[in-house]
């Protein structure tokens, strides 16, 4: 094991925040994505500002990044499987190719919003395979899975259920507006004449 200094640069427009220089201890043969992931964990635990950080390809598997300010960060191709991103600010972050779960590669983040009523941060992603997933609180659901959860969950919590329903409707409308989801097909109603 050796001590090494990892330099984390910033994306264009965030250079005023300066580079981060983080000391980590690891095997010298450790791959760059793992070293970068270790540096991000250390920086976050030291409360470093990660806005606009260049974290291209970082291995953040299982990282606790609750409440992290990753606004504008380059997370292109990052491994985020098992990472706790509750409350993380991902607005403007480049998440293309990031791995959220086994095989779930991000094409783009299209909603990043805080639901004031519940305190949950909602992130909606278009995946490379065309699916939409929502990360909200500890939930990782497709729109249909969230709708099913809404039907059976939140017993006795009318205000929370209403807030979640509103957020879900917003995500779905944005997905349709951006043509990620197709507009629903209008049902055809057949008129029948009554014959006496």
Query: What pLDDT was estimated at residue 125?
Result: 92
Average pLDDT value for residue range 37-45 = 95
Q: Which of 48-57, 59-68, 85-94 has the lowest mean pLDDT?
A: 85-94
Query: What pLDDT was estimated at residue 8?
Result: 95
Query: What pLDDT was estimated at residue 175?
Result: 94
Question: What would the pLDDT profile of 104-142 be if each residue is shown by its tens digit?
Answer: 889 988 998 888 888 888 889 999 899 999 988 778 899
pTM of the model: 0.74
Average pLDDT value for residue range 46-55 = 94
Backbone angles phi, psi at 46, to 5 degrees: -90, 5
Average pLDDT, the chain: 88
d(CA 101, CA 103): 6
Among 76, 67, 38, 68, smallest CA distance to 51 is for 68
Query: What pLDDT was estimated at residue 194?
Result: 63
d(CA 85, CA 43): 15
Strand partners, 15: none
Between residues 156 and 183, the one the model is more confident about: 156
d(CA 124, CA 141): 10
For residue 47, pLDDT beyond 90:
yes
Query: What pLDDT was estimated at residue 139?
Result: 83
For residue 29, pLDDT beyond 70:
yes
């Amino acid at each position: 094991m050796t001590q090494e200094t990892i330099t984390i640069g910033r994306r264009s427009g965030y250079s005023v925040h300066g580079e981060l220089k983080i000391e980590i201890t690891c095997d010298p043969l450790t791959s760059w994505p793992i070293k970068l992931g270790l540096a991000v964990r250390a920086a976050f635990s030291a409360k470093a500002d990660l806005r606009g950080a260049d974290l291209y390809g970082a291995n953040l598997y299982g990282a606790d990044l609750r409440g992290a300010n990753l606004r504008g960060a380059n997370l292109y191709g990052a491994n985020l499987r098992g990472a706790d991103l509750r409350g993380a600010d991902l607005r403007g972050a480049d998440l293309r190719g990031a791995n959220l779960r086994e095989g779930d590669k991000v094409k783009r983040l299209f909603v990043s919003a805080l639901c004031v009523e519940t305190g949950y941060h909602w992130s909606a992603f278009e995946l490379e395979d065309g699916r939409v997933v929502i990360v909200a609180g500890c939930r990782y659901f497709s729109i249909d899975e969230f709708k099913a959860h809404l039907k059976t969950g939140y017993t006795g919590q009318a205000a929370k259920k209403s807030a979640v329903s509103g957020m879900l409707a917003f995500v779905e409308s944005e997905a349709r507006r951006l043509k990620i989801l197709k507009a629903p097909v209008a049902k055809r109603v057949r008129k029948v004449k009554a014959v006496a």
